[in-house]
Amino acid sequence: MINILLAEDQAMVRGALAALLGMEPNFAITQAEDGDQALLLLRQQTFDVLLTDIEMPGRSGLELAQWLQQRQSPTKVIIITTFSRSGYIRRAIDMGVNGFLLKDAPSDELIQALYKIMEGKRVIDGELALMALDERDPLNDKERRALRLASEGKTTSEIAGILCLSDGTVRNYLSDAIAKLNAVNRVDAARIARQKGWI
């Protein structure tokens, strides 16, 4: 039995994926409605595979992958997304993600990918892999997190509170991100970074 944690914030998509995967007799599916709930479940039990969207409330799919990587978890990760942004793919590859598929891929492709990954293979669409080689993400993790929170409309003080940093340190991270992206301000920097798939 392959234990799969499915993390997807869109209820209809999550339900459809769970129903599809549930038809496979070898799959046991647990659902998480966002990144924070997925993290809670990952802390509580071990899964063979995390099948996750990228953009979700709370933790993103890439943050979940990074969390697993930092703990040297045996849980394999497949990212499924509607976004084929080079920054997402590059970061996913750097984090050792085992699979990267677009949501509009045929359903049998997803099922085959799950089996291949359990055999120790990596499944990343060839075109997406080439796209990932195009551009390097200039942001570090702290700049990325600060920029992501800024893009959600959080103030410098709110970001500082969430990240347990001083206001001045947050301002420095945001300034560095703005400079690296040749942006006009934090809103522009967040727009550029989101477009590239870096946050």
CATH of the domain at 177: 1.10.10.10
**Number of separate domains in the chain:** 2
Residue 97 and residue 128 in one domain: yes
The token pair at 136 is 């390097």
Q: What is the DSSP letter of 27?
A: E
Residue 44 and residue 88 in one domain: yes
Residue 109 and residue 168 in one domain: no
Helices 86-94/186-196 angle, 10° precision: 70
Residue 159 and residue 83 in one domain: no
Q: What is the pLDDT along the chain (199 residues), one digit of tens a residue?
A: 999 999 999 999 999 999 999 999 999 999 999 999 999 999 999 999 999 998 888 889 989 999 999 999 999 999 988 766 667 777 787 788 999 888 878 888 889 999 999 999 988 866 666 665 556 778 888 898 899 898 888 999 999 999 999 999 999 999 998 888 888 888 888 888 888 778 8
Residue 127 and residue 181 in one domain: no
Residue 15 and residue 105 in one domain: yes
| Residue 57: strand, helix, or coil | coil
DSSP secondary structure of 126-189: HHHHHHHTS------HHHHHHHHHHHTT--HHHHHHHHT--HHHHHHHHHHHHHHTT-SSHHHH
End residue of a domain, out of 132, 156, 180: 132
What contacts 24+ positions apart, CB below 8 Å, involve 11-20? Answer: 13/53, 13/103, 17/51, 17/80, 17/110, 20/107, 20/110, 20/111
CB 52 within 8 A of CB 80: yes
Residue 157 and residue 95 in one domain: no
Amino acid at 184: V
CATH number of residue 7's parent domain = 3.40.50.2300
The token pair at 23 is 């038809």
**Which value, to the nearest 10 degrees, does the dihedral of the CA atoms of residues 38, 98, 70, 85 take?**
-80
Distance from CA of residue 190 to its chain's centroid? 17
Range of the domain at 160: 141-196
Task: Quote the pTM value.
Answer: 0.67
CB 62 within 8 A of CB 193: no
Residue 128 and residue 145 in one domain: no
Spatial CB neighbours of 45, under 8 Å, sequence gap ≥ 6: none
Amino acid at 138: P
End residue of a domain, out of 83, 103, 132: 132
Residue 19 and residue 99 in one domain: yes
End residue of a domain, out of 132, 153, 183: 132
